Amino acid sequence: MHDSLNPRLRKNGLKAFAKGLAGGPFLSSLVFAFYSVFAPSAFAIDLDGKALAVAEQVHTGRIVCEMGNVVYITPDTQNRGFFMLQMGKHRFHVSPVPTATGAIRLEDAQQGAMWLQLANKSMLMNSKLGQRMADECQSPAQVAVAEAMKKGPAFNLLEGPAPSVARK
């Protein structure tokens, strides 16, 4: 339906909105409401099953990072599978991207933000600048995994059979 909207009507709607700002608050709010319903939305994207499965694994809430940084991740109630990610004055509207490695990856392609969530830590990257914005971020669940990894490191498959497996 959004794509079928006449481009001329879209253009005229913006002109009416601009005139409405000078003509009074009622007219401008009416035009804005009309335009927001029929204009294409940047967030009107349906995620596929793989992306929604990734979204279910995202740690949300307050996530503490190194150097005193704090990241807040909250589900977007208007768009299933999307999240709002905030760190200080930076705000991103991120969506899940399936990966071959199983890592949880959220991206805001417009702003170049990428959130990478591993079992024991997460990090926020700015792909446009090529730098980390936050590192060593951990939710309570990630703290527990990190502690377990310190107590009993993961078994290296290249070193032979696992100690609990008996040879025949």
pLDDT 10s digits, 49-74: 888 989 999 999 999 999 999 999 99
Domains located in the chain, CATH noted: 7-38 (no CATH), 49-151 (2.40.128)
pLDDT 10s digits, 93-140: 999 999 999 899 999 999 999 999 999 999 999 989 899 999 999 999
Residues 40 and 56: their CA atoms lie apart, in Å, by: 27
- Give the pLDDT confidence score for residue 84 in this predicted structure: 98
Which run of H or of E encompasses 30?
helix 25-38
Q: How confident is the model at residue 159 (pLDDT cuts 50, 70, 90)?
A: confident
**CB-neighbour burial class of residue 26 (10 A; exposed 0-12, middle 13-18, buried 19+):** exposed
